[in-house]
Amino acid sequence: MKFQYKVVLVTGSSRGIGAAIAKAFAKEGATVIINYLQNKEAAERVVEACIKAGGDAWAIRADVTSAGDVKQMIDEILLEVAKIDVVVNNAFKPYIFDPDQRKLAWELTWDDYQKQIDGAVRSTHFLCQAVIPIMKKQSQGSIINIATDLVARPMIPYHEYTTAKSALIGYTRNLAAELGAFGIRVNSVAPGLVYPTSVSQYTKEEVKEMLISQTPLKRIATPEDIPGPVLFLASDWSRFMTGQTLYVDGGLVMN
Residues with active-site annotation = 161
Whether residue 122 contacts residue 145, with contact meaning beta carbons closer than 8 Å, is answered with no
Nearest to 198 by CA among 73, 64, 81, 96: 96
∠ CA(97), CA(100), CA(103), 5° rounding? 75
How far apart are the C-alpha atoms of 87 and 36, rounded to whole Å?
14
Neighbour tally for 96: CB within 10 Å: 14
First to last CA, the chain: 31
